[in-house]
Structure 1
Amino acid sequence: MWKNIFAGVLAAAIVGTGAYPQEMTQAEEPLMMFASFAADKQLNVEEWTMTMKRKVSPEQTGEMMEQILDQGQHPEVSREETAQAEKWIVTNRHKKEKIVETYSVISPRNMKNKAELVYIIQGEGTSSLTQDLFHRVEDVKSRYFSKTATIFSCLKAVSNGIIDDVLVYEKFKETFDVATIDEIDENGWTSRSGRTEKWDQSIPSGKQSMNVQFATRTLGGETNITIGTPIITAEY
């Protein structure tokens, strides 16, 4: 019984951060929904990630880099070079909020190909999922990405012991009304992909489209769960 009470308090605390789903855009809702699901199932949220990508013309990259550098107080800047492309990376660390933002501008050597801008923001635990966070993401999207940009959301959670991952996935399916498309089960590792009408973004999967993945790994006396939409973008 105390576990149910604890889960309710934690779920309320998540909402209390100000990141209530009704205040977010549709693309950002899944991350908070995943965090609430984890709290309800007594899973500890370890980390989360959001990723946005877009193509840009080579002529835009210089001005874009200047804008990105101007908005960070103490950005870390690095450069990587390969035979195919040049990559500039700008990292802003927000230690108090336990958040790290990374901008990558990848310029191909072949000028016929477009450059790519990648924005990644990641944080630790539910305490970093605040209303200010989603305001920050909205600001970045409006500055550098179109309003219809797809946001890849990924959340990692862990149980305090080994749990029945099949049962947890069934609860996940029920909560988000997921229709399973594909399932893999290999030596303590599982990966399931499916589709839900809870959000619109999706990617092709054979003749169907998918917009959610649910993966589990049992190792060292605990079960790790990774949830992503439309796909899992982090290693698990």
Structure 2
Amino acid sequence: MKVIIALIGSLIMVISGVYPQERSEENQLQQFADFAEDEQLEITEWSWTAKEPIHQDETEKWAQQASSLFEDEPEVEETIHAEKRTWTKQTGDIIETLSLIIPNDSINSAERVYAIDGKGNASLSQKWASRKDLTKSRLFSENVTIFSCIKSVKNGIIDDVLVYEKFKEAFDVVTINVVKDNGWTSMSGHSNKWGQSLPILSEEMNVQFASRTLGGRTNVTIGTPIITAEY
């Protein structure tokens, strides 16, 4: 339950406070994959997400471009608060999801979200990056907010503190907050290697590192600027 609460809290902060800066977030997934390989961690899942508001007057033109790029019409879901259009494409172990959320009121901006998810280390070596770059360049501006997340596992109980210390050294991370509870640990920090960040108390956070030991296995999840997957 505390894991879920922490995740929800982080997502609330993202909605209210993430802001892009100049440094590139493009190579984070590969950097994290290389780190996991060095620590003999098996990559199980990864995700790359782009999120950006869009003026409601521009949504129909954007939707046409999205349908052209995905070569399909979206699924449409309507609620009392908004209309959501979703395009989905699967290629092997890679799933792309493109969403357009249009509020029913005309005051708030709409939101466009692109997520590309894969399973296993092998999928990271496929041509996912070119597809991601194509979608980003055609459907988003330079002010897009990028989220990267990688999940890994190792059979047996590992020294997660030691792994985190190596992670800190590899990416010049300054720890801001540590939360421990009944077998799982979540560390939040900031690295000058990446520009995007979100305010937390009086500091800025742009990376999370979490570990959980369960059933003789240790799961390690890394996310920037926050972890966007359940761990």
Normalising by the residue count of structure 2, what TM-score does the alignment of the two structures yield? 0.86
Q: CA RMSD in A?
A: 1.6
Quick one: percent identity of the two aligned structures? 52
Instruction: Quote the offset at 1:147 in angstroms.
Output: 2.0
What is the rounded CA distance, in whole Å, between the counterparts of 1:195 and 1:113 in structure 2? 31
What is the rounded CA distance, in whole Å, between the counterparts of 2:126 and 2:97 in structure 1? 20
Instruction: Quote the offset at 1:59 in angstroms.
Output: 2.3
Q: Is the Cα–Cα contact under 8 Å of residues 66 and 139 in structure 2 kept in the other structure?
A: no
Please give the per-residue CA displacement for 1:137-160, whole angstroms capped at 9, x wherever unaligned: 222121111224221000000012
State how 1:47-196 maps to structure 2 within 5 Å.
47-73=45-71, 75=72, 77-95=74-92, 98-130=93-125, 132-196=127-191
1:231 aligns with 2:226: yes
Instruction: Quote the offset at 1:35 in angstroms.
Output: 0.3
Instruction: Report the AA paired with residue 91 of structure 2.
Output: H
**3-state SS of paired residue (1:152):** strand
In the alignment, what sits opposite 1:201? 196
Instruction: Report the AA paired with residue 214 of structure 2.
Output: L
Normalising by the residue count of structure 1, what TM-score does the alignment of the two structures yield? 0.84
Instruction: Quote the offset at 1:123 in angstroms.
Output: 0.7
Instruction: Report the AA paired with residue 201 of structure 1.
Output: Q
**3-state SS of paired residue (2:32):** helix
Gaps of 5+ in 2: 1-22
Shift in CA distance, 166/32, structure 1 to aligned 2, threshold 3 Å: same
Instruction: Report the AA paired with residue 230 of structure 2.
Output: E
Shift in CA distance, 109/28, structure 1 to aligned 2, threshold 3 Å: same
Please give the per-residue CA displacement for 1:177-234, whole angstroms capped at 9, x wherever unaligned: 1110000000001100001112222111111111110011111110111100111111
State how 1:200-219 maps to structure 2 within 5 Å.
200-219=195-214
Instruction: Report the AA paired with residue 143 of structure 1.
Output: R
In the alignment, what sits opposite 1:3? none
Q: Is the Cα–Cα contact under 8 Å of residues 31 and 154 in structure 1 kept in the other structure?
A: yes
What is the rounded CA distance, in whole Å, between the counterparts of 2:127 and 2:50 in structure 1? 18
In the alignment, what sits opposite 2:43? 45
Instruction: Quote the offset at 1:76 in angstroms.
Output: 7.3
Query: How many residues end up aligned between the 2 structures?
Result: 209
Instruction: Report the AA paired with residue 88 of structure 1.
Output: R
Instruction: Report the AA paired with residue 155 of structure 1.
Output: I
What is the rounded CA distance, in whole Å, between the counterparts of 2:90 and 2:154 in structure 1? 28
Q: Is the Cα–Cα contact under 8 Å of residues 76 and 92 in structure 1 kept in the other structure?
A: no
Q: Is the Cα–Cα contact under 8 Å of residues 27 and 150 in structure 1 kept in the other structure?
A: no
